[in-house]
Structure 1
């Protein structure tokens, strides 16, 4: 059977729905993985497409058996491929070693044996020859649960109806990426970033020391395009990433003057990071940044600038990088 090509519906960044509307929404854990649409034609086969529409089936050979999970019933499923760390939490950095291997079957098979991925399923948009796009989320989710798709490398985690504040708090307490809120009466809108789905990302904030910067381009010529920041680890200043967003125009102008005054030819980071075009400064400026998670090497993921911290001396800034990341 030929299945329709369906682009995944996307969530809009936002906040929890008002308390008075809480029971009109379902809440699912936001996972840090690769969004996929899975096509099961009903002949035992499986085809996976990324959000871009690119076929990526070959990258994840351990998911092949999903193709037979519904017997001869054809289906199109929406989900997320995850790589899990030793604590069972999604690790995007670990997943990156698996992405892009759709045309490298031998390597994909080797990595699947060492670090298998897990596919979490959260929607069904076509089933047994019938489109479910116009059904409300509540009914689609019931259909998905009835399929009982739980296997060695895939599962259907439960969605919680109501209790949004408790759900969001639980994701924070367990160090998870965030929460997706889905309106119970929402239809499936292929390829649309809809207000009927709201994503809330748990962000952390920490103090950092500015040790360098990269010149901006275009309208930012003469201004910093990004600052290079670090934190202490074992008595040295370790580079933890570049921050290129979060400033107003006035703040960027102010920062430019401070960086020029602190310029030096000596890189303050140990070891010296490979950042072409970097300009170094004496690490006396303290800033606060927001970020989502850290990589296993201690680098900040998705950092953005919050503010300068003139109230803090460099020696007071930030706790050390966690020992397990040094």
Structure 2
């Protein structure tokens, strides 16, 4: 038997952020769930093994040992596949905070131990090379048909469904299910390695939330002495619960303004009822209310991907974090 040609190294195709295709053009697009995970290119030479690569091209095979059995399912079918590695929470939704506990672990014993605590699942959504033939020039619809024909499925990998021409339905379904958003892919699109293409669009669900500032952490570099992040909470019956820190989205002017406001309401102790875990925090009286956006909540009850929007002077002092 002739030796199998080596598999090509293929960088993942990337999506641009943008609005979903509107009415009148939906029929030309497919819609997939956007998973909150880490991109993974899977190369299976057909001999029962697999090599897992991160978006940056690093070998992650030892990091996710539970995915090794996928190679056996692809024995005799040399392939390069595209997908997303996730860790699912108790409700079956991807939780990036849990996945972070697995990422970058190279020690086999440590990775094996963590695989029992936080098992990963590989969501496969594309095939770029199969049986010695490149599929880069094939359309998305053709590639998905080929992928479905492989019959892949196991305890730690699957091929999620997609819908054609029903973007609004996909959007509403993903929102109700608690997923991060939707990726729209043009049905006729070819696979463009390493390119952030207009043929793939990602749209995230964004939630707006009013939070109470209970402290701040100092910035570094050019913002030394100013708030690098606001420590935020939500009022509950038991008191003010810490839900995270938000610094993304703050402009230099907003940092300076916030520093002036916080300087007149310092306090010596934390106003939060739960641990904060932020180094060298500065506590303040919980009087200022801010509006942030977020993509969801972590399993620990913290905001995911928080972005500062604005202060809410109209709501200041209206929230009392003390129990009634």
In the superposition, the TM-score normalised over structure 2's length comes to 0.90
Q: Match of 2:112, SS?
A: helix
**Which residues in structure 2 correspond to 1:1-326 (within 5 Å)?**
1=4, 2-101=6-105, 103-271=106-274, 273-316=276-319
After superposition, the Cα gap between the structure-2 partners of 1:239 and 1:158, relative to the gap in structure 1 and judged at 3 Å, is same
Q: Match of 1:16, SS?
A: coil
Provide the alpha-carbon RMSD of the alignment: 2.1
Matched residue pairs, number?
318
After superposition, the Cα gap between the structure-2 partners of 1:108 and 1:140, relative to the gap in structure 1 and judged at 3 Å, is same
**How far 1:265 sits from its partner (Å)?**
3.4
- Is residue 37–residue 50 contact of structure 1 (8 Å, CA) maintained in 2? yes
Q: What per-residue deviation string (whole Å, max 9, x for no partner) do you get for residues 42-70 of structure 1?
A: 11111111111111112222222211223
**How far 1:128 sits from its partner (Å)?**
1.0
Structure 2 portions without partners, runs of 5+? none
Q: What per-residue deviation string (whole Å, max 9, x for no partner) do you get for residues 130-186 of structure 1?
A: 111122212111211121212232111111111101110111111111111111122
**How far 1:251 sits from its partner (Å)?**
3.5
Within 1, Cα distance between the matches of 2:219 and 2:155? 48
After superposition, the Cα gap between the structure-2 partners of 1:251 and 1:96, relative to the gap in structure 1 and judged at 3 Å, is closer
**How far 1:250 sits from its partner (Å)?**
4.2
Q: Match of 2:69, SS?
A: helix
Of the structure 1 ranges 288-297 and 40-49, higher mean CA displacement relative to structure 2 is found in: 288-297
Within 2, Cα distance between the matches of 1:272 and 1:93? 17
Q: Match of 1:6, SS?
A: coil
**How far 1:248 sits from its partner (Å)?**
4.1
Of the structure 1 ranges 52-61 and 219-228, higher mean CA displacement relative to structure 2 is found in: 219-228
**How far 1:266 sits from its partner (Å)?**
3.4
- Is residue 212–residue 227 contact of structure 1 (8 Å, CA) maintained in 2? yes
- Is residue 287–residue 319 contact of structure 2 (8 Å, CA) maintained in 1? no
- Is residue 89–residue 299 contact of structure 2 (8 Å, CA) maintained in 1? no
Of the structure 1 ranges 103-112 and 15-24, higher mean CA displacement relative to structure 2 is found in: 103-112
Of the structure 1 ranges 140-149 and 233-242, higher mean CA displacement relative to structure 2 is found in: 233-242
| More helix by percentage | 1
- Is residue 209–residue 317 contact of structure 1 (8 Å, CA) maintained in 2? no
Of the structure 1 ranges 218-227 and 83-92, higher mean CA displacement relative to structure 2 is found in: 218-227
**How far 1:286 sits from its partner (Å)?**
0.6
Within 1, Cα distance between the matches of 2:23 and 2:85? 32
Within 2, Cα distance between the matches of 1:60 and 1:157? 20
- Is residue 45–residue 68 contact of structure 1 (8 Å, CA) maintained in 2? yes
Within 1, Cα distance between the matches of 2:86 and 2:245? 26
Q: Match of 1:254, SS?
A: helix
